[in-house]
């Protein structure tokens, strides 16, 4: 089905399902708790070389000289490369080469720096050695002489020079609709804010790794340690290395967290492949933590100057936002998509009369940036909800009432936002009663009582506050994904997908969906993902796509396979297919729910597979085997939504913000596994607290990164966070897929920055006090000083 199709019927809830929608244990856990995982660092080939990357220690400069002679003399060193050794290798390309703007193509990152370095961490040379310790020794012996150039450390500063004659301001993206000038002219009040989101990122516990292997016998290059988007990266590598699709394959093992940053295509991935082929030996590279903090994608850093026009009741007549996006030193695989996503989702679930946003995409001398869980939404929700709090304060309207009044009413759903700009994707919100959901969430949090209690604490002198934020999410980007499912002669089921697992429970989700449709035990299903030699197409795991898109493809395939199996069984059991069911892998006569199974002939799926093998006389012209392949196609994404509520207290002496409560309320459409969805919401929320309060990649004026260890870059620990509360509702299934799915990977983090800012404002009694994330103790103390305490 293609669609604008608002069209699938409301799917059943879990109480009418066997396994779909139930909080069953994961099938991927056993190897992980017994130490038998296969993470990138665990991959090893005989006779492998180890790569070490020499990185620039200067944030911006011309490369005057690279002296590798001493390093090459070190025993155990096989080779040292600079850009001169890989002349035909192009810069790391965009994932969607056809969709990326031409203006940003010259800003892609070379695999090894050519002529200039542009951030501390920029790869300038690569050492290949017999032993990783020797590779590091050799890297230290390489002399890199760089003539410094002026650094540009702020995206909102006047642009500088990226290259001779090329500025650091390649692109401004715009989204708009309605008559913005008229709306501001008619406004009862105008609110203006200057807001900043700090530079932070996903920082998975496993650093990156890449192992290149060249199978000379078959002329196939292999990249192990792939993650997130193996199939898409294969396509990019085919273009970059001028290969045919059959000449390269990517293999995903276990992945120690992704969060958007892990699994993108980076210079090191290209280097190990080129080296493996040239040396005829496997090449292994494992990133260390310092590299991870300066070389893996950063994210989030933006500065917004936003104006809102409202009527006397606080209704949003118009929003005008100009923002500066700090891309860092190069454009990476996403091009400018975070800028586009920031502005398309900025208005969230509110109805806004007129809208204009201009996002200035700026290069600076910092680590390149790209997507991190809820890209553009964490940022946009912070900005939008700051505006809502500011309007409430200015007009003297209650924060909750103001939000409720501005939410798109249920009567206007589905609601489509269309932007004037050519090529700007419209936003067709599919389902939901936003005000009704908000009321439910407020009641669950006991907002009224909580707010009254916190007010009393403030009156007693405590710095305590409540925060609220409403957010919109997006998931399930198409256009399509496919799956293959087969049942072998033992009855075992294999689901082959082009999805990826970053630890989110992909295998269990797909197994539950398949098991429900097929009628087998979900634990007996093997789920394949991230292996490009098993299936030609795959979307990987990003932007909360896996459950919605790949899950719908698995559902469609399982339904098809069930039909095939029942058809054969009907012939063998001499019973009409409509009277048959598959229960725990056995085809038998359909019974009445709750009653004992009816007597009659039955056949296991394994036996059935054997009966339709290649030698079978049952086939009558049909292909042998119990196997099916199907696709799911959709024209539009789906739009889950939610709200965050928080209580914080502030220590006036230290500036420490303690989060006492945080509730993530979320309508997911339909949850495949509520236990795992809750895990996603809780984990996401805690990551969000990192970006709201602790984590920041800071730099010195000359571009030196100041957060290069876990002692400087502070991930939330167990003692920094409260028990996160969740409210999962299933009131608004998506009509855009058969299972009503909406995806859940990014909801936990979306509005955490927003809700913590709201709560801090409330605690200190200064509307608009928080203008910048993260609110570190230093920044908190600055706010308190201004307040006069």
Partner 1 sequence: MPEKFDITLNINGRDYPIRVEPRRTLVDAIRDDCGQTGTHIGCEHGICGACTIILDDYAVRACLMFAVQADGRRIRTVEGLADGDTLHPIQQAFIDHHGLQCGFCTPGFLMLAVNVLERQPDIGDDELLDVLASNLCRCTGYQNIIKAVQAAAAEMRKA
Residues that bind partner 1 (CB under 8 A): 25-26, 28-30, 32-37, 39, 41-42, 44, 75-76, 133, 202-207, 254-259, 286, 288-289, 502-505, 675-676, 678-679, 682-687, 709-711, 715, 717-719, 721, 723-724, 748
Q: What phi and psi values does residue 359 have, to the nearest 5 degrees?
A: -110, 115
User: Residue 245 carries which DSSP code?
Assistant: G
Cβ of residue 198: shortest distance to partner 1, in angstroms?
Answer: 18
Tell the smallest beta-carbon distance from residue 261 to partner 1 (Å): 11
Nearest to 277 by CA among 208, 223, 331: 223
Q: Cβ(619)–Cβ(612) under 8 Å? A: yes
Give 25 or 601: the residue with its C-beta nearer to partner 1. Answer: 25
Nearer to partner 1, 293 or 657 (CB): 293
Q: HEC profile for 148-202?
A: ECCCCCCCCCCCCEEECCEECCCEEEEEEECCHHHHHHCCCEEEEEEEEECCECC
Alpha helix positions (H), 260-330: 267-279, 289-295
Q: How far is the CB of 749 from partner 1 (least distance, A)?
A: 10
Candidates 520, 615, 610; CA nearest to 568 is 610
Strands of the 171-177 sheet, one edge to the other: 171-177, 354-363, 316-328, 302-310, 189-197
Q: Smallest distance, Å, CB 724 to partner 1?
A: 6
Residue 312 neighbours by CB under 8 Å, 6+ apart? 188, 189, 395
CB of 709 to partner 1, least distance (A): 6
Between residues 541 and 586, which has the closer beta carbon with respect to partner 1?
541
From the CB of 679, what's the least distance to partner 1, in Å? 5
Among candidate residues 447, 438, 440, the one with its CA nearest the CA of residue 466: 447
SS3 165: coil
Distance CA 546, CA 481 (A): 10
In the complex with partner 1, the residue whose CB is nearer, 178 or 257, is 257
**Least distance from C-beta 385 to partner 1, angstroms?**
22
How many Å separate Cα 757 from the centre of its chain?
A: 23
Peptide bond into 98 cis (omega under 30): no
Residue with tokens 């869980």: 373
- Gap between the Cα atoms of 314 and 78, Å rounded: 68
Q: Are 83 and 97 in contact (CB under 8 A)?
A: no
Cβ neighbourhood burial of 88 (10 Å; 0-12, 13-18, 19+): exposed
Nearer to partner 1, 421 or 710 (CB): 710
CB of 688 to partner 1, least distance (A): 10
In whole angstroms, give the CA distance from residue 304 to residue 286. 37
Nearest CA among 661, 643, 659, 650 for reference residue 765: 650
- CB nearer to partner 1: give 212 or 716: 716
Q: Tell me whether residue 603 or residue 752 sits nearer to partner 1 (CB atom).
A: 752
- Nearer Cβ to partner 1, position 236 or 367? 367
Residues sharing a CB contact under 8 Å with residue 680, sequence separation 6 or more, in sequence order? 504, 744, 745, 747, 748
Residue closer to partner 1 by CB (options 43, 609) is 43
d(CA 332, CA 353): 35
Decide: helix, strand or coil at residue 749.
helix
> Least Å distance between CB 376 and partner 1?
21
CB 202, min distance to partner 1, A: 8
Q: Report in angstroms the alpha-carbon separations of 570 from 108, 260, 517, 556, 627.
A: 58, 47, 18, 21, 17
User: In the 8-state DSSP scheme, what is residue 428?
Assistant: E
Shortest spacing between CB 65 and partner 1, in angstroms: 29
The length of the chain, given as a count of residues: 789
In the complex, least distance from residue 744 CB atom to partner 1, rounded to whole angstroms? 13
Least CB distance to partner 1 at residue 654 (A)? 18
**Using DSSP, how many helices (H) and how many strands (E) does the chain show?**
19, 30
Distance between CA atoms of residues 738 and 768, nearest Å = 44
> Residue 387 Cβ, how far from partner 1 at the closest point, in Å?
28
Comparing CB distances to partner 1, the nearer of 76 and 436 is 76
Q: Determine how many CB atoms are found less than 10 A away from the CB of residue 448.
A: 11
Instruction: Report the C-alpha gap between 239 and 582 in whole angstroms.
Output: 45
CA 586, 592, 595, 600 torsion: positive or negative?
negative
* 227 close to 264: Cβ distance less than 8 angstroms: no
> CA–CA separation, 729 vs 722, rounded Å?
22
Q: Report the nearest approach of partner 1 to the CB of residue 683 (Å).
A: 4
Q: Is 48 exposed, middle or buried (0-12, 13-18, 19+ CB in 10 A)?
A: middle
Q: Which is nearer to partner 1, 27 or 112 (CB)?
A: 27
Q: Which is nearer to partner 1, 42 or 192 (CB)?
A: 42
Q: What is the DSSP string of 25-46?
A: PPSSHHHHHTT----GGG---T
Given the DSSP bridges, would you call strands 302-310 and 316-328 parallel, antiparallel or unpaired? antiparallel
CB-nearer residue toward partner 1: 268 or 451: 268
Tokens 């697992």 belong to residue = 501
Nearer to partner 1, 400 or 662 (CB): 662
160 or 257: whose CB is closer to partner 1? 257
318 versus 502: smaller Cβ distance to partner 1 = 502
Q: Quote the tokens at residue 461.
A: 């002198």
Provide, rounded to whole angstroms, the least separation between the CB of residue 256 and partner 1: 3
User: Closest CB to partner 1 among 189 and 715?
Assistant: 715
Q: What is the nearest approach in angstroms of partner 1 to the Cβ of residue 471?
A: 18
């Amino acid at each position: 089905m293609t669609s604008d199709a608002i069209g699938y019927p409301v799917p059943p809830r879990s109480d009418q399902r066997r396994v779909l929608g139930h909080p069953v244990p994961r099938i991927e856990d056993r190897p992980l708790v017994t130490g038998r995982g296969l993470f990138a660092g665990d991959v090893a080939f005989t006779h492998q070389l180890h790569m070490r990357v020499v990185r620039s220690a200067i944030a911006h400069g011309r490369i005057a000289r690279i002296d590798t002679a001493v390093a090459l003399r070190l025993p155990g060193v096989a080779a040292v490369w600079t850009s001169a050794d890989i002349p035909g290798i192009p810069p790391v390309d965009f994932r969607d080469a056809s969709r990326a703007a031409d203006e940003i193509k010259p800003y892609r990152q070379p695999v090894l720096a050519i002529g200039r370095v542009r951030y501390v961490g920029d790869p300038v040379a690569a050492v290949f050695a017999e032993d990783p310790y020797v590779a590091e020794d050799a890297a230290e012996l390489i002399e890199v002489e760089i003539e410094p150039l002026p650094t540009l450390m702020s995206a909102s500063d006047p642009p500088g020079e990226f290259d001779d004659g090329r500025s650091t301001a390649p692109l401004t993206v715009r989204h708009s609709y309605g008559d913005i000038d008229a709306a501001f002219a008619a406004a009862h009040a105008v609110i203006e804010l200057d807001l900043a989101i700090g530079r932070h990122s996903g920082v998975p516990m496993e650093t990156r790794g890449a192992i290149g292997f060249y199978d000379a016998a078959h002329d196939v290059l292999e990249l192990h340690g792939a993650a997130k988007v193996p199939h898409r990266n294969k396509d990019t590598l085919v273009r970059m290395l001028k290969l045919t699709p059959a000449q390269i394959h990517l293999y995903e093992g276990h992945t120690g967290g992704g969060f958007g940053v892990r699994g993108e295509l980076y210079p090191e991935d290209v280097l190990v492949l080129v080296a493996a082929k040239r040396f005829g030996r496997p090449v292994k590279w494992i990133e260390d933590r310092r590299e991870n903090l300066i070389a893996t994608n950063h994210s989030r850093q933006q500065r917004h100057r936003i104006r809102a026009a409202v009527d006397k009741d606080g209704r949003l007549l118009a929003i005008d936002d100009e923002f500066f996006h700090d891309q860092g030193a190069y454009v990476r695989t996403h091009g400018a998509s975070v800028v586009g996503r920031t502005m398309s989702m900025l208005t969230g679930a509110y109805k806004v009369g007129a809208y204009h946003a201009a996002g200035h995409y700026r290069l600076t001398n910092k680590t390149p940036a790209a997507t991190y869980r809820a890209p553009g939404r964490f940022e946009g929700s912070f900005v939008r909800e700051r505006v809502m709090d500011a309007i409430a304060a200015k007009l003297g309207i209650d924060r909750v009432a103001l939000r409720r009044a501005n939410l798109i009413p249920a009567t206007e759903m589905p609601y489509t936002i269309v932007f004037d700009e050519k090529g700007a994707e419209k936003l067709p919100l599919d389902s939901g009663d936003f005000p009704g959901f908000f009321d439910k969430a407020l009641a669950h949090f006991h907002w009224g009582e909580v707010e009254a209690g916190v007010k009393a604490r403030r009156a007693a002198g405590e710095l305590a506050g409540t925060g609220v934020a409403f957010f919109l999410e997006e998931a399930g980007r198409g256009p399509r994904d496919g799956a293959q499912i087969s049942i072998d002669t033992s009855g075992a089921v294999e689901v082959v997908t082009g999805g990826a697992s970053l630890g989110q429970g992909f295998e269990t989700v797909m197994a539950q969906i398949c098991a429900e449709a097929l009628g087998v035990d979900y634990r007996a299903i093997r789920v394949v993902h991230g292996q490009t030699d098993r299936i030609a197409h795959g979307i990987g795991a990003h932007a909360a796509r896996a459950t919605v898109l790949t899950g719908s493809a698995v559902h469609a395939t399982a339904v098809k396979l069930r039909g095939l199996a029942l058809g054969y069984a009907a012939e063998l059991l001499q019973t009409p297919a409509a009277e048959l069911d598959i229960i725990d892998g056995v085809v038998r006569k359909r019974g009445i729910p709750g009653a004992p199974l009816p007597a009659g002939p039955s056949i296991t799926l394994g036996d059935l597979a054997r009966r339709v093998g290649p030698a079978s006389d049952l086939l009558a012209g049909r292909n042998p085997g119990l196997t099916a392949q199907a696709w799911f196609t959709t024209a539009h994404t789906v739009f889950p939504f939610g709200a965050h509520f928080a209580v914080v207290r502030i220590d006036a002496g230290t500036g420490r913000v303690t989060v006492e409560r945080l509730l993530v309320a979320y309508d997911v459409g339909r949850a495949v596994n509520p236990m795992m969805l809750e895990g996603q919401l809780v984990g996401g929320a805690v990551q969000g607290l990192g970006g709201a309060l602790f984590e920041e990649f800071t730099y010195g004026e000359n571009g030196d990164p100041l957060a290069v260890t876990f002692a400087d870059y502070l991930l939330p620990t167990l003692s920094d966070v409260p028990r996160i509360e969740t409210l999962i509702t299933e009131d608004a299934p998506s009509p855009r897929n058969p299972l009503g799915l909406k995806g859940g990977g990014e909801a936990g983090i979306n509005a955490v920055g927003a809700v913590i800012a709201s709560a801090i404002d409330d605690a200190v009694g200064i509307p608009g006090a928080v203008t910048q994330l993260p609110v570190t103790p230093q920044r908190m103390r600055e706010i308190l000083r201004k307040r006069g305490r």
